[in-house]
Structure 1
Amino acid sequence: MQILPLKEIDSIASYLHEKNRQETNYVTHIPQSIEDIKNDLSHKFDENTFYYIEDHDTIIGILGFESVDDETANVWGPIVNDTSEETLSALKEIWETLLNDHPNIKYCHISLHKDHILNNSKLKRLHAGYVETQYTLEIQQPPLPIDKKHQMTPYSKPYYYAFNKLHSNSFKHSDISADDIIDSLDDNHALYLYIAEGLVKGYIYLSIDIPEKLATIPNLASHHDYRKQGIAFQMIHFATTEAFNHQDVETVRIYVDSKKHEQIQLLYEKVGFHIVNETHHFKYVRPYDV
């Protein structure tokens, strides 16, 4: 068994493509198509940021740092064929090499399928701690009607200030601004506001992909002063119903980051969504030098 720096991109790409289609080795940050994998390996990595483990001329594991900014990296991997002590020791050696060679990296993000063979306890070897779970939820038919009359209205310019403030406060580190959402509005992108007592208490953004027959809910937020009042449920129910009013939509999908599975059950499953995928997010934080 030996550890080698990035080379033989075609072989590594084939290995990644095969392994990443398996739930036991699925890693969020790796593209799905083999061509995209090859392209990223060629342009985002080099011999100092990506290593693989080889045994008898066969690739049995990989690990790489994809730079996000000067201090942050998304981790490609860990992907391994087995969890033997020898393999895990080689993996840890690569991890320590990457950290030592890139002292500027303070934060590493790892995102694995819930059934990944290295999930949870085995990641402690890399000193990465659990942060949250991302749930992918879908629904294939309109939700059942509710008795309560909705308080939703399409976005209009008079509500710009209130919407902008709510979005900015809810997503302080988002790459998508309130103006980005507003500029995108067309026949396939809609923004609805929850208005009560003359106040914008929540919003939900709906996007429709006609070729995929898919609607997604990329953003929703409710004002922190009005939480636990059923606002989120009503917004999700309304937007999902609106999505299925579009003749091309067969599925509505939403991604939710949460530590609490109970929240998923009480809110999204109550509307009619079901979980189709779960990925666990971990984060490594480099200790400060004392």
Structure 2
Amino acid sequence: MMNIVQLREPQEIKAFIDSSRYLSTSYLYKLPQEYEDFDTLLNEAITHPGVIAMTENNQIQALILAFSYDNHRYKIIGPFIAQDFTLTDNQFKLLFDKLIEQQPDESIFNFSFEEGAQEYKTYMKTIHASYNFTDYYLEAQKDLGDHFNNQNIIEYQKGFYRAFSKLHMMTFKHNAMTPDEIIESLDEHNRLFIFVSEGLLKGYLYLQVDTERNNAEIKYFSSHMDYRLKGIAFDLLEYALKYAFEHYTIHKVYFKIRNKNSKLVERFNELGFQINYEYKKYKFEPRHLHQDFSS
């Protein structure tokens, strides 16, 4: 007989996770690799909102957990499934419903799955989770070599602090470096490029170079909403790519972009960027579900 139970023993949970299948595990990459960090995350999840398991004859067959990243905002990690067990869509719903049953209607529960490598769509359909957006991880292993000279792009200057700070904070709200942290980090391997036209900052790009791993990350970039669709972000990316390969001995330049428009993402191919991974993001909002069924 199957039972839905709440687990409270970290060692029991870790032992099952280590031996389980991850084919349908949301936010798998959020599991810390360091044991100490993993224990911290696990203890927080046990305390709130909980670790929920499906058991048969006292043996764990599947489990799901979550961690909070903001008030009533959660990222779901799971399901983890036993090697010889098949978790049906309805069984997944039972696990998820138990996990969220004590949370208020204004809560939001987020899922993330690697497209092409994980199976998740029927689970999301069963609980009525909605597609939110896609995170694309792109990388380029060489500069295409085309001549490029954009006089609108310069290194950061203090006079543009206010405009840069405002644009960055409007664009990146969660778990991002602050404008001051970015500026304080600037050195030989941390560069901030800004796009200036008519005396106005219309976009920026922050490049971090890791000489030990021989790669560079375009950590943040954005253009002002008043000047979108003018190719400013595209120009900044092209500039940073060429700058990185010309000034450092690196193997690749990479970045992440969040978008619903796959056609826009494909434009980066023109610069030499290729999609390395893509993660489909879903969210479940109880209040919307209740509204749908009551209307």
TM-score (structure 1 length as normaliser): 0.85
Q: Please give the per-residue CA displacement for 1:98-124, whole angstroms capped at 9, x wherever unaligned.
A: 222233761111111113654234312
- C-alpha displacement at 1:47, in angstroms? 8.3
Match of 2:123 in 1: 122
Note closer, same or farther for the CA distance 1:16–1:217 as it changes in structure 2 (3 Å cut).
Answer: farther
Q: Secondary structure at the match of 1:211?
A: coil
What is the CA-CA distance between 1:65 and the residue it aligns to?
2.1
The equivalent of 2:200 in structure 1 is 199
The answer to whether residue 262 in structure 2 is matched with residue 278 in structure 1 is: no
Q: Could you list the runs of 5+ residues in structure 2 that have no partner in the other structure?
A: none
Report if the CA contact (8 A) 2:45-2:65 is conserved. Answer: no
**What is the identity, as a one-letter code, of the residue corresponding to 1:108?**
F
Within the alignment, does 1:209 sit opposite 2:210 as a pair? yes
CA contact (8 A) 1:167 1:221 kept: yes
Q: State the distance in 2 between where 1:70 and 1:52 align.
A: 24
After superposition, what is the alpha-carbon deviation per residue over 1:181-209, rounded to whole angstroms, capped at 9, x for unaligned? 21221222110011122221111011122
Query: Corresponding residue for 2:233?
Result: 232
1:121-147 deviations in Å (ceiling 9; x for gaps)? 431222211100101111112232235
Amino acid at match of 1:284: F
Equivalent residue for 2:257? Answer: 256
Superposition pairs of residues 9-158 of structure 1, within 5 angstroms: 9-17=10-18, 24-25=24-25, 27-28=27-28, 30-33=30-33, 35=35, 36-46=37-47, 49-55=50-56, 59-80=60-81, 87-103=88-104, 106-115=107-116, 117-158=118-159
> Structure 1 counterpart of 2:65, which letter?
G
> Percent identical across equivalent pairs?
26
Contact 1:6–1:46 (Cα < 8 Å) also in 2: no
Residues 236 and 117 of structure 1: CA distance in aligned 2, closer, same or farther (over 3 Å):
closer
Contact 2:148 2:239 in 1 (8 A): no
Q: Which moved more, 1:64-73 or 1:164-173?
A: 164-173
Q: In 2, are the aligned partners of 1:208 and 1:215 still within 8 Å (CA)?
A: yes
Contact 2:136/2:257, CA 8 A, preserved across alignment: yes
- C-alpha RMSD of the superposition: 3.0
- For 1:248 and 1:14, the matched residues in 2 are separated by 42
- Give the distance between the partners of 1:23 and 1:136, measured in 2 at CA: 20
CA contact (8 A) 1:29 1:74 kept: no
Gaps of 5+ in 1: none
Q: Is the 8 A contact 1:2 1:55 kept in 2?
A: yes
Give me the whole-angstrom Cα distance separating, in 2, the residues matched to 1:7 and 1:181: 40
User: Shift of the alpha carbon at 1:40?
Assistant: 2.0
Could you say if the C-alpha distance between residues 201 and 17 of structure 1 is closer, same or farther in structure 2, counting changes exceeding 3 Å? Answer: farther
Give the secondary structure class of the aligned counterpart of 1:161: helix
Q: Look up the SS of the partner of 1:101 in the other structure.
A: coil
**Structure 2 counterpart of 1:278, which letter?**
E
| 8 A contact 1:5–1:50 mirrored in 2 | yes
Q: Report the secondary structure of 1:287's partner residue.
A: helix
Inter-partner Cα distance in structure 1 for 2:252 and 2:20 = 27
CA shift, 1:167, in A, is: 2.3
- What TM-score do the two structures reach when normalised by structure 2? 0.84
Residues 231-267 of structure 1: CA distance to partner in whole angstroms, max 9, x if unpaired?
Answer: 112100111122223434222110111111111111x
What amino acid maps onto 1:98 in structure 2? L
SS in 1 for 2:100: helix
AA of the residue aligned to 1:225:
D
2:215 counterpart letter in structure 1: L
Q: Which stretch has the larger CA shift, 25-34 or 198-207?
A: 25-34
Measured in 1, the distance between the counterparts of 2:20 and 2:208 equals 31
SS at match of 1:45: helix
1:48 CA drift (Å): 5.7
Shift of 1:69: 2.9
